[in-house]
Structure 1
Amino acid sequence: MEPLGATTVFLVICVSSLLFLSAWRKMSGSGKLPPGPVAFPIIGNMLQLKTKNFPQHVEELSATYGPIFTIYLGSERVVVLYGYEIVKEALIGLGDEFSGRGSMPIFEKSAKGTGIVFSNGERWKQLRRFALTNLRNFGMGKKSIEERIQEETRFLVERLRNTHGRPFDPTLFLNHSVSNVICSIVFGDRFDYEDKKFVILINLIEENGKLQCSPWTAEQKNVQSEFNVESLVHSTIELFVAGTGSTSTTLKYGLLILLKYPEIEEKVHEEIDRVIGQSRSPCMADRSQMPYTDAVIHEIQRFIAFVPLGVPRAVTRDVHLKQYVIPKGTTIFPVLKSVLYDSREFPNPDQFNPGHFLDENGAFKKSDYFVPFSAGKRICVGEGLARMELFLVLTMILQNFTLKPVVDPKDIDITPESSFVSNAPKSYQLCVLPR
């Protein structure tokens, strides 16, 4: 072999070895990590993971490695928490240590570490405190917000009435209605559904939802920024995106489930007629008198497991969990579906059953396993608003209409379209008939 050729080969081997060693050290971390499938340098476990239905694959991995295990998305170390006990111990028992936000590159590129959802440290604490304070000032949890939701839902009911029993896709109807509630909070007024600026806003929210389907593409690291106008803008955007997408999708999924189970819809109708009647709009005070309807809404949220893996967390320092050490900065997947589908708390969890939230006397039964909004320090800021919207919107729709499927109920498919980030119902149409 020529001397130059031998030198080139030698250099390639040396550089490759250094890259291998560097990647391996990064992946190995410090201390005893939870077990997991053997990972390759640089690409990690990407060739082994079934990304098409990743939440299902995570369940299969937990059967092999237990309630806490390690995987690598490229060179990104991820510790997965699977099951009620380990999720509770981490998110609640070690709330401060698990309060960081994990890596989601596609959002890091747009948010740049600003806003409430994707910021960390002191910036996150200040922004979250600021958001909660101002949402309360705007009426969160008060009668004024309830009245805004009621007003907007009346516009929705009128729009549904104008379908005149014809089939339609409920997506835009629900997106517009839920987004307008956020508009009324942030801007002090709602938009007409045909307003050009409002249509653009809704289109951007829908496009954001599509981008969420593949969040693990490589992107640059986030950029540190101060608490400033940029942070406020991103926080406002997050209120629109999270406040619109999650609630409207849950409502859309809920209507689909009720189309499949008309006997459940009929029981809700009976409870609405008995408690509310037809002469006034539903209000939050009615919920305590409507255990079956409340149970149906809780079961919708449990069943769909909207964010099955949970929004990624990160540990803020080296953490001892069980017999393992999780290094600072490690991304955490707290698998919320593993809690929502725990068969000890919810028998036959794959079946939709409002009885999961009812006791033997038909009274509503709370559950510590109900975590659709996550738990601990990073629990959803808009939980209170979402709960109000789900109850008031769904109840007012069913007060005014009977849902009619366009296919035989037994042929309705309520299995979700899954992505890395969220579950959503398959596209469908329905008819609504005035009661």
Structure 2
Amino acid sequence: MIFQTLFECMDFTGWLLFTFVVLLLSDVVRNWRPHNFPPGPWTVPFLGNVFTGVDFKTMEKLAKEYGPVFSLRRGSGRLVFISGYKMVKEALVSQLDSFVDRPIVPLFHVVFQGLGGLFASSGEKWKKQRRFALSTLRNFGFGKSITEQSICEEIRYLQEEIENDKGEPFNPAGLFNNSVSNIICQLVMGKRFDYSDHNFQMMLKYLSESIWLEGSVWGRLYDSFPNVMKHLPGPHNRIFSNYDHILDFIGQEVQRHKQDLDPNNPRDYIDSFLIEMGNHKESDLGFDETNLALCSLDLFLAGTETTSTTLQWALIYLIKNPDIQEKVQAEIDSVIGQIRQPTMADRPNLPYTDAVIHEIQRMGNIVPLNILRMAAKDTTLGGYFIPKGTVLMPFLTSVLFDKTAWDTPDTFNPGHFLNADGKFVKREAFLPFSAGKRVCLGEGLAKMELFLFLVGLFQKFSFSAPDGVVLSTEGVTGTTHVPHPFKVCAKVR
């Protein structure tokens, strides 16, 4: 009776206040930290920590305050960050089966149409598709001499394009995207594209823009509040339209492959996938045309952006360190000369150059945050309780710049990968390709590309900044860490 009378006396303002209090209490209860869950900063009701940046300085500050395992709230869910080599290794290697699955990320759920493809999928579908992709690409030269020949051929095209600029300033980003993308296109689609091909250029443009938007505040807002953001205008909508254009492009290639498919003589990944579809007509392992396009998108994405971006960082760091550039060229001249093209057999004889490439990858820090993982079962990490279904983010930047693992983590220093005798040495904390069962599928190809492209470029040219220009090493962090747009000059040696 008392509550009934109270409700009858409430005006609109009272009802509004009552509703707000109920929603606030509901939000607090729903997002209460489990016992012994990783700590983290206070959250804003309803919004969580959505506006907390995920840049290295912010994450480093949070790790110092809360330890190497801490949490942030994104929308209605909590995200656990793992920082530092020791703890990242514990999660990705020592407990590799605990954190092998992917969570359902709203943005990726739309792009990958229910989480198909190679990188966003989980479970048996992911295992089968990853094994199929690896075995198929190996059949077509993945990591073998035939791919090496394709890379060397592409280097010649790239060198010609650079030489055509006749020493004038040019933007290397587009050229590197063209060259690197053509390698994965040959493996997936069985063809390379001319640098003037309009459709190819548009696909690369859509890809770069989408990757940047995914890592921007617009991507974070969509993942935190998908039910609201999907109805609002904004740049986040370009992510979906861009990927639709890329999938249409790939779909056209699939249709062309179907027209002249020879089941006894597959030419590339698409052919092999189409043939394999006939063996899995009733299965739910992803052997259908939709997933073929999504897997091809994943391969195209992974096989283009990271390697191309690393080569851009190579120019920046070697231009800013001309003495290192000269030492690389001197080593190349002494082992290969300036006429013969490099081969992978040359790498053991170029330890300094190899060390420089690894240091470029470390300092370039191409994929700062890795890709989200999900706890497959209740477990502990760093002494904290991690319930099944918890989403984790291994912070790879913290590994590549870990002060306990590198002598001079904030300085470009090829000596990190050389011993006292000048021989190349591997470093356990070098994890630009991640680690464990989800290690980058194209790691072998990327290493081959980086070595051959870099040696081919500095064998042929000396690079410098335009007069009066100082190149920046700060970069722009989205899903990947890319340099600010820049131009360079290339002088034929």
TM-score (norm 2): 0.82
The answer (yes or no) to whether the contact 1:41–1:75 under 8 Å persists in 2 is no
- Report the counterpart of residue 384 of structure 2 in structure 1: 324
Report whether the alignment pairs 1:422 with 2:488: no
Equivalent AA in structure 2 for residue 190 of structure 1: R
* C-alpha distance in structure 2 between counterparts of 1:300 and 1:71, whole Å: 30
Cα 1:14–1:328 change in 2 (3 A) is: farther
Matches within 5 A, 1:5-404: 6=10, 12=16, 15-28=19-32, 30-47=34-51, 49=52, 51=53, 54-102=55-103, 104-112=105-113, 113-214=115-216, 215-218=219-222, 220=226, 227=286, 228-404=288-464
* C-alpha distance in structure 2 between counterparts of 1:387 and 1:275, whole Å: 20
Cα 1:18–1:358 change in 2 (3 A) is: same
Equivalent AA in structure 2 for residue 251 of structure 1: L
* C-alpha distance in structure 2 between counterparts of 1:170 and 1:127, whole Å: 34
- Report the counterpart of residue 248 of structure 2 in structure 1: none
* C-alpha distance in structure 2 between counterparts of 1:7 and 1:230, whole Å: 55
Greater CA drift, 351-360 or 128-137: 128-137
Cα 1:160–1:3 change in 2 (3 A) is: closer
The answer (yes or no) to whether the contact 1:31–1:326 under 8 Å persists in 2 is no
Other structure's SS at 2:31 match? helix
Per-residue Cα deviation, 1:286-329 (whole angstroms, up to 9, x for no partner): 11110000000000000111111222211122222232111222
* C-alpha distance in structure 2 between counterparts of 1:20 and 1:229, whole Å: 46
**Identity over aligned pairs, percent:** 42
For residue 242 of structure 1, report the CA deviation from its aligned partner: 1.7
Other structure's SS at 1:69 match? strand
The answer (yes or no) to whether the contact 2:128–2:285 under 8 Å persists in 1 is no
Equivalent AA in structure 1 for residue 471 of structure 2: I
Cα 1:310–1:3 change in 2 (3 A) is: closer
Per-residue Cα deviation, 1:193-231 (whole angstroms, up to 9, x for no partner): 112332222222222233223221225599xx8612211
The answer (yes or no) to whether the contact 2:474–2:483 under 8 Å persists in 1 is yes
Other structure's SS at 1:79 match? strand
Cα 1:6–1:180 change in 2 (3 A) is: same
Report whether the alignment pairs 1:433 with 2:491: yes
The root-mean-square deviation of aligned C-alpha atoms, in Å, is 2.2
For residue 34 of structure 1, report the CA deviation from its aligned partner: 1.0
Report whether the alignment pairs 1:413 with 2:472: yes
Equivalent AA in structure 1 for residue 311 of structure 2: L
Cα 1:327–1:42 change in 2 (3 A) is: farther
Per-residue Cα deviation, 1:141-166 (whole angstroms, up to 9, x for no partner): 11111111111111101111111111
For residue 400 of structure 1, report the CA deviation from its aligned partner: 0.6
Equivalent AA in structure 2 for residue 299 of structure 1: E
Cα 1:175–1:367 change in 2 (3 A) is: same
TM-score (norm 1): 0.93
